[in-house]
Structure 1
Amino acid sequence: MEVILQRRDYLTLYILLAVIYLLGLQIPLMENDSAQHATMAMRMYLEDDFLNIYKGGKDYLDKPHLHFWLAAFSFKLFGIGQWSYRLPALLFTILAAYSSFRLAHHLYGKKAGHITSLVFLSAQAIILANHDVRTDAVLTGAVAFGVWQLVRYIDTQKLLPAIFGAVGVGLAFSTKGQLGVFIPGACVLCYLLYGRKWKSVFSWKVLIGSFFFLLTITPVVYAFYVQFDLHPEKIIEGQKNISGVRFILWDQSFNRLTASGFQQNSPDYFFFFHTLLWAFLPWSIIAYSALFVRLKQLFKIRFAYQKGMEFLTVGGIILVMVVISFSKFKLPHYLNSLLPIFAILVAGFLVFLHENGKTKFIRTLLIIQYATLSLGTVFVLFLTFWAFGVPSAMAIVSIVFLLIGFIYLQKVPMSMTRRMIMISVYFMVLINFCLNTQFYPNLLHFQAGNNAAMIIKEAKIDKDRVFKIDRWRASWSLDFYLKQEIAKVKIEEVTKTLKSGDWLLAYDEELELLEQKGLNWDREHAMDHYRITRLKLSFLNPETRPEQVGKAYLLRIVE
């Protein structure tokens, strides 16, 4: 049987991708969500309280506990650090890659397996999710594992896959609520519909699986019960008698769909469809081509079951994207847990094109890949050198080495399908090497919280005497890198609360207010500050950056 990728191909690409992911472990945490979630998990670990979630000392009624539990457990094993916070996300990403590999092998044959995992691991949103870690990496791994195991159960009727599938979906629920059930549910439903395999549903094994699903979500439901249902006196968003159980079982995802409790952030019903263009780079154009061709094929055969065809990927993707597009609160990373399914679709499509000799189509896609990736690489290299100056000598040598490797790939004779996969993954390695070693580390110089923590450690300032102002700026990275929650003080009470010798983190727009309150200080450390997760061209441009960057100060208070 002719192979598309040789063993040395995928081993080389896996090693290069592993380097990129390991480099991402060492990037300082970015505010808001990543540093915020790390600080919330740190509090769990430090206070040995795993039932209650707090955000800056206030009850947190939003995401379930699993992501925070995993991070806290990692802190317990390896200590508090940016890499130990990211470790569970990386492990679940590996689980997602393996699960999608196995599911693609099941649906499309041996050739599709490694192609799927390489497509998934080289997707830009997945690489980003492993250093800007939120709940999505854990969710993605749990969803991919759950779908794979449930498909195994449907096709084998064995009990163990039913149990594993239920546990996978339960873990997804314990990470993101109903969304973690909806995505695998939509994919499996489409698989059942097309294959007419309803017999597997009406089985005592489904009852056993349901029991294990309930067992898996019980810790999270119980934790919400303890934190909220047992304390009806707590005031959340101006309301009392809040039921945490009702929230996690019903309200949580529906609140996001209706923007209840959230500010509506996008009325665009095509938000996720165009977000996919960058989130699934470098595979997005191929993904849309695969969707179109597969739908056309299914309509041509009037959705009649045909060996070698499947509806799990196409149906699951369309159903999920249409439903979440009606949400009034949208964020790009909502797509992440669907990317393993996209990866399977792309891999199956490439295998189909290769085996059926669709040379013209493959050549067109290859040209598009070259154009897209060349532009992307030129842009990132330009951005790296232009925005933050010439990188280190080691970085330049590494970039040159990667470029030589790309040139070498052009000289090796290979099929167009193999070349498309090789150059696509290789380009993403080059792009993210520049981002993870140069762009993001330089960007973090403009986040005041982690830089203030560095100054406090170097100056040996007593962190118990460090305060921050209780306003809209949370400065989560300050707390995390000092390994404790820093006390907050209201700006109206600074003179009553702070004593001579205390230190206060304040931002430039707060200095005048502090002076008006009669606060005095005799020493200060100044730091640049910018909201680095909301980049603008005027900030990236070194000539206009000074006008965009604010200041933060560590002030030593005197009477």
Structure 2
Amino acid sequence: MILQKINYKLLYILILIPYLIGLFIPLMELDSAQHATMAMRMYYENDFFNIIKSHQPYLDKPHMHYWLAAISFKIFGVSEFSYRLPAFCFLLLGALSTFKLGKLLYNKDVGHIASLIFLSSQTIILSAHDVRTDAVLTGSIIFSLWKLISYFKTSKIVDIFFGFLFLGIAFNTKGLIAVVAIGLYIFSYLIYERNWKSIFNWKIGVGIFTFLLAIFPVLYAYYNQFDMHPELLVKGQKNVSGVKFILWDQVFNRLNAVGFEKTSPDYFFFFHTLLWAFIPFSLIGYIAIFNKIKFFIKIKFRKVAKQEFLTLGGFLSVILLISFSKFKLPHYLNILIPILSILTASFLVQLFLDKKEKYLKALLIIQYIIVGVLVLAVVYLSIFTFKISNWFLVIISVLGVFGLFYLAFQKRNYFTKIILLSVVAAAWINFNLNALFYPKLLKYQGGLQLAEIVVDKQIPIEKIYLLKETYNWSFDFYTKKNTKHISVEDLEKQNDIWLVVDEVNFKQIKEKVIDIQDVISVRHFPVTRLSGKFLNKKTRDKVLTNTYLIKL
């Protein structure tokens, strides 16, 4: 092995530390807190068939993510830890599967380094605490891919079974896009291997049957909630088929932004988003992609021993597909990170084996620059953005900086220093973010603050309302109740109730001359949309708004 075993083990331990800390960070608005609240309703009402978003039928993402969270709530109770635990487990599965697939395609060293690159990627670390559906999706897709590639190499039926089972889990998490992505990965593998005959085998039939069994619970749940109730009003329409939606409409609605606000017309959105999503290996990843393209052009795509097209072909085909979507979000890239990690790891290992010291030295200089900039940015975010309240964590952070300097100047080969410096830097950066920065940042999440006040003052939850068409997911989750809704017109008919409102609605209520008996206000900022003015202590107050809990 290129790196000593102790190094691999130590690096795995270090990079998992920020993941573990992130399990206990308060949930963020919007999606993470929203999904947790929806799963909480499933658990409290013991209703796993229906997906409900604030008392309304929800037709978007399928059930698996919510089922896993609700089951976790049943076992461990309702908390941010319980909500995040299934996602964390699937990311560990993703890391294991990335290692296994890297080992299968190349060797053990490529597998380990790919797994470490996967775990070090900023978008993957972020997905472990800002939990949406993507952690479960990513883990299930790469596990399915590993097992299916293993089948094409060994013809073992057990690989077909688990490959298609987890393909079903991926479908149950995000819909048809999971099947399309894995299909493109498999096509990229087979077109280079010229192994089409392996598809025409009775074992594939067993796999398809397994897939259909795996997705049956979701199809039945959709049929039960929507197809059996044509009277339901869903996004302004009746006679909506849940089965048709998940089998067809969902993926094409997102590609065409039907029912969604167009986010970015930029066809290069995912290519430049990858620059931060794949940090600290983003530039090396791009170099690896161009190097692989150059290689296949040079050999004119002829079959060469110990080479594969899965990682390059799979990456390019999927990123091009989602780039033409009219509705784009950065976390759509997550399903690409495992195969990009393998591609990057194989590139680095090959440079080491070919003894291309000058090339590796240049890459190390790039990593010095990236890590240096990131360290300065994180020091500012963690120490200077908010008032320090835990000096013990700051001391640990400072010791970590000395550790990075030690790695930077230690006498080792360039390849080893690239891996050690990058992974340790990712661990240090996200330790600081998860232990020092995010806990302070989330104190500016209005709903969370009001929930703490409600619990502390023992305000009756059943007397608290939200205005119709407004949501406050962190308030719902941390009061452990789906807050009831009420119209402005009906407020005058009520007394002795509490209302959660933002600044705009607070002014509207005052204009209605509604008798307000008590006002509790907290400072609020949309914490997932950071700005320079917010991060600057001197200008922060200018961008803060108030969230109110008022008694009528």
Q: 1:499 aligns with which of 495, 501, 515?
A: 495
- 1:293 aligns with 291
Q: Is the 1:120–1:126 contact (alpha carbons within 8 Å) kept by the matching residues of 2? A: yes
Is the CA contact (8 Å cut-off) linking 1:495 and 1:518 kept in structure 2?
A: no
Deviations 1:379-411 (A, max 9, x none): 111122222133521121111121122233235
5+ residue gaps, structure 2, are none
State the distance in 2 between where 1:408 and 1:261 align. 52
In the alignment, structure 1 residue 486 sits paired with structure 2 residue 489: no
Q: Hey, what does 2:425 align to over in structure 1?
A: 427
Paired positions, count: 552
How big is the shift at 1:358? 1.3
Measure the CA separation in 2 of the matches of 1:82 and 1:217: 28
Q: What is the match of residue 146 of structure 2?
A: 148
Matched with 2:547 is: 552
Matched, 1:522 2:517: yes
Contact 2:16 2:427 (8 Å CA) reproduced: no
Where does residue 184 of structure 2 map in the other structure? 186
2:304 to 277, 281, 306: 306
Contact kept? 1:21, 1:130, Cα under 8 Å: yes
Residues 183-222 of structure 1 mapped to structure 2, 5 A cutoff: 183-222=181-220
Partner of residue 477, structure 1: 474
Distance 2:417 2:506 in 1: 58
Residue among 48, 51, 56 paired with 2:49:
51
Unaligned runs of 5+ in 1: none
| Matched position secondary structure for 2:412 | coil
| Residue pair 1:447, 1:531 contacting (<8 A) in 2 also | yes
Deviation at 1:323, TM superposition (A): 0.7
Residue 403 (structure 2) aligned to one of 402, 405, 416? 405
The farther-off stretch of 63-72 and 523-532 is 523-532
For the residue of structure 1 that corresponds to 2:518, the secondary structure is strand
Letter of the structure 2 residue corresponding to residue 57 of structure 1: H
Q: TM-score, normalised by structure 2?
A: 0.98
Contact 1:194-1:310 within 8 A present in 2 as well: yes
- 2:268 matched residue in structure 1: 270
Q: How does 1:385-400 map to 2 (within 5 A)?
A: 385-400=383-398
1:93 Cα shift?
Answer: 0.1
Q: Distance in 2 between matches of 1:379 and 1:321?
A: 29
Shift of 1:18: 1.8
Q: 2:220, 2:176 → 1: CA distance?
A: 16
Structure 2 CA distance for partners of 1:44 and 1:288, relative to 1, 3 Å: same
Q: Distance in 2 between matches of 1:539 and 1:411?
A: 36
Match of 1:531 in 2: 526
Question: Which amino acid letter does the alignment assign opposite residue 384 of structure 2?
Answer: W
CA distance in 1 between counterparts of 2:408 and 2:323 reads 40
CA contact (8 A) 1:506 1:554 kept: yes
The alpha carbon displacement at 1:439 in A equals 1.3
Deviations 1:248-270 (A, max 9, x none): 00010100101111111110000
Indicate the percent of aligned positions where both proteins have the same amino acid: 48
Deviations 1:435-478 (A, max 9, x none): 11121111111111111110011111111111122234x11011
Counterpart in 2 of 1:511? 506
What secondary structure does 1:133 align onto? Answer: coil
Structure 1 CA distance, aligned partners of 2:132 and 2:468?
Answer: 24
Q: Secondary structure at the match of 1:553?
A: strand
Quote the Cα distance in structure 2 between the aligned partners of 1:109 and 1:389.
48
* Paired AA for residue 402 in structure 1: G
Measured in 2, the distance between the counterparts of 1:102 and 1:275 equals 27
1:16 deviation in Å?
1.4
Q: Secondary structure at the match of 1:282?
A: coil
Amino acid in the other structure paired with 2:455? K
Of stretches 67-76 and 391-400 in structure 1, the one that deviates more from structure 2 is 391-400
Residue 173 of structure 2 aligns with which residue?
A: 175
Cα deviations by residue, 1:475-521 (Å, 9 ceiling, x for unpaired): 1011111111111111222112x322x22212222222112223222
Q: Residues 223-274 of structure 1, C-alpha deviation per residue, up to 9 Å, x if partnerless?
A: 1111111011112222211111110000101001011111111100000000
Could you say what secondary structure the match of 2:499 adopts?
Answer: strand
The equivalent residue for 1:76 is: 74
SS at 2:516 equivalent: strand
The one-letter amino acid paired with 2:89 is L
Partner SS for 1:388: coil
**In the TM superposition, what whole-angstrom CA distance separates every residue of 1:30-73 from its partner, at most 9, and x where no partner exists?**
01100000000000000010010011111101001000000000
| Superposition map of 1:97-496 within 5 A | 97-472=95-470, 474-496=471-493
Contact 1:183/1:338 (<8 A) preserved: no
Deviations 1:176-199 (A, max 9, x none): 001111111111111111001112
Contact 2:157 2:203 (8 Å CA) reproduced: yes
Letter in 2 for 1:342: L
3-state SS of paired residue (1:520): coil
Structure 1 Cα separation of the partners of residues 456 and 381 of structure 2? 31
Worse-superposed segment, 453-462 or 502-511: 502-511
Q: CA deviation at 1:373?
A: 1.1
Which amino acid in structure 2 is aligned with residue 344 of structure 1? I
Taking the aligned partners of 2:369 and 2:507, their CA distance within structure 1 comes to 52
Quick one: structure 1 residues 391 and 282, their matched pair in 2 at CA, closer, same or farther if it must change by over 3 Å?
farther
Q: Which amino acid aligns with 1:269?
A: Y
Give the match's secondary structure for 2:538: coil
Paired with 2:504 and 2:231, the residues of 1 have a C-alpha distance of 36
Tell me how far apart the structure 2 counterparts of residues 52 and 382 of structure 1 sit (CA, whole Å).
Answer: 45
Deviating above 4 A after TM superposition, structure 1's stretches of 4 or more consecutive aligned residues are none
